[in-house]
Amino acid sequence: MSGNNHEVSADYAHLFASSPSEDNKIDALVLAARFLEIINDAMEEKKMTRKSLAQAIGTSPSWITQLFRGDRMPNLEILSLMARALDITFEVRFSRNSHPLEHFESKSLVSTFRRLEEKKRKVGDTSKQVEV
């Protein structure tokens, strides 16, 4: 029966495989989530609501909700406006051979990304087993 599982896995692996374009989209979502995590932490520290943040940067509360829900991507101008409204600055640095999710504290904001990465890793492992 395990042979059949490998055959099924091989037949459907293409459904979970990702392209470089999809990988870039995931990386962009992770990067956006990292910035939004910092924004969210600063909002909690200052006891600022999403509605008051929206007012401070000149947008609607629903747009802010969509941003934090992941339906919209923040651009650099929006991130700058949010940082000014919260009186914070972003420190940008890079590291080599580091996975983007390693920098997150365990927060619910990234749980979806962790599941996506786990699925991606499992599919990669299955593909390797099938090729051998």
pLDDT single digits (tens) 3-16: 555 555 666 666 66
Work out how many domains the chain is built from and give that number: 1
Backbone dihedral angles phi then psi of residue 103, each to the nearest 5 degrees:
-90, -5
What is the pTM (predicted TM-score) of this model? Answer: 0.61
Q: What whole-number distance in Å separates Cα of residue 37 and Cα of residue 74? A: 12
User: Where does residue 97 rank: exposed (0-12), middle (13-18), buried (19+ CB within 10 A)?
Assistant: exposed
For residue 59, the enclosing domain spans: 2-131
CATH number at residue 119: 1.10.260.40
Q: What whole-number distance in Å separates Cα of residue 86 and Cα of residue 42? A: 7
Across 39-43, average pLDDT: 96
Q: Nearest Cα to 84, choosing from 119, 46, 29, 118?
A: 46
